[in-house]
Structures are given as structure tokens and as C-alpha cells.
Amino acid sequence: MPLLFVKEGVLGVSASDAGGRELVAGVRGPRSMLGLEGLRGQVARGTVVALTDAVVCSITATALKAQMSLDETKTLLDFALDELSQATRDSDLRTGPALSRVARFLLRYGSLLMPGRRAPFSKRHVAALLDVRPETMSRALRSLTEAGLISSARSIQIRDAVRLEAVSRGDTLPE
């Protein structure tokens, strides 16, 4: 896979093991760089899918290495460190109770869930990203809706970001 730089849009990234079990799932937006494994001659084993209209630039690791100066090496290192931070945030989405995971996802990516527009994320992709079953995610969304933190008629809208933030940190919903 070549190195990919996301200029605009949102991409879904996933990788599976030999048995088809999804191991890694993530969401990447503008200024993300994918395929950094190629710089070390490793093959990236994953799938990248555009979740919204996207503009993505690509270059092979060989072509990049041939053109790099010291300044460009620093820039590439900055992108690599940004990707490492994003991977850490993806990992954070997979910790804690399912309700907290869903709340964190909504807080982080709620701006992509605009009213009147179909969400760029499928329930299956989000469930894989959060490491929960789609049914568990549906129950969490229903609980957040019933508690008044979100509305979810046609598209999800955050109604109470302060309380949703508390749930994302592990607070429970009132009975």
C-alpha cells in the first residue's frame, strides 16, 4: 500500500485476522497519514473506505524516500506522531463500559452526524471500532436517547454534551 495523506473527508480504516475477525478499526480525517509501514518495507494489511467525499494523495515509499530532505523528514515524522496519537485515541474508544464507549464516539465524531444527512458510519463499522456488538450499540443509543442526551429520529444529534461527557468518563445514567 502506498502512503496516503488525507486532505479532505473522512476514511474508515480496518484490518482483520486470517479468520475474518476485525482487529483494528478507526476513523481518519484531514491531515491523517496512512500506510507508514511502507517506509520500513512492511505491507499494510487493511482496508480503507471513504465514509464521506474525500481527497486523498498517495505516493510510494520508494518515491517519497528519493525526494525527501531533512525538512521533509521532520514533516513526515510529525505526521507519524500524529497518527500514533490517533491510534491511541482509537484504543481509548475501546475501553470502559459500552455506554461510555458510545458516548465518547458521539462526542468525538458527532460533528460528522449532521441533521438531515445520512451518517457516514455504518452501525457495523462503529460497533467494530468500539469493540461492541451492534445490538449492544443499539441499546446504548436507546439509553442515551431515553435519558435526553441525544436525539436519534433520523440522524443522531447531541442534546446535552455536558452529561454525555460525564457518561463518556464512566458516570451512569439516572434511572
Q: What is the pLDDT of residues 1-44, one digit of tens each?
A: 688 889 988 888 877 767 766 666 788 888 888 887 777 777 77
CATH code at 130?
A: 1.10.10.10
Same domain, 45 and 125: no
Residue 39: what pLDDT? 73
Sign of the four-CA dihedral 75, 81, 82, 83? positive
> What is the residue range of 54's domain?
3-92
Tell me the pLDDT of the chain averaged across its residues: 81
CATH code at 46?
A: 2.60.120.10
* Grid coordinates given for 113: 452526524
Domain edge (last residue) among 56, 74, 92: 92
- Domain membership flag for residue 127: yes
Angle between helices 134-146 and 123-130 in degrees, nearest 10: 100
- Domain membership flag for residue 53: yes
Residue 113: what pLDDT? 66
Same domain, 7 and 53: yes
Same domain, 86 and 102: no
Of residues 111 and 12, the one with the higher pLDDT is 12
Of residues 88 and 126, the one with the higher pLDDT is 126
Contact call for residues 164 and 150 (beta carbons, < 8 A): yes
H-helix or E-strand spanning residue 4: strand 3-8
Same domain, 7 and 87: yes
Same domain, 107 and 58: no
**pLDDT-based confidence at residue 163 (cuts at 50, 70, 90):** very high
Domain edge (last residue) among 47, 67, 92: 92
Contact call for residues 45 and 17 (beta carbons, < 8 A): no
Of residues 124 and 112, the one with the higher pLDDT is 124
**pLDDT-based confidence at residue 139 (cuts at 50, 70, 90):** very high
**pLDDT-based confidence at residue 131 (cuts at 50, 70, 90):** confident
Same domain, 7 and 88: yes
Residue 103: what pLDDT? 93
Q: How many domains does the chain have?
A: 2
Which residues, including other chains, have CB under 8 Å from residue 34's CB and lie 6 or more apart? 1, 3, 4, 6, 11, 13, 28, 44, 48, 83
pLDDT(118) > 90: no
Same domain, 87 and 8: yes
What average pLDDT does this structure show over 97-111?
Answer: 89
Task: Mean pLDDT check: name the lowest of 9-18, 113-122, 146-155, 162-171.
Answer: 113-122
**pLDDT-based confidence at residue 147 (cuts at 50, 70, 90):** very high
Same domain, 157 and 85: no
- Domain membership flag for residue 34: yes
Instruction: Read off the DSSP letter of residue 93.
Output: T
Same domain, 138 and 64: no
Name the amino acid, one letter, at 98.
A
Same domain, 72 and 107: no
Same domain, 60 and 134: no
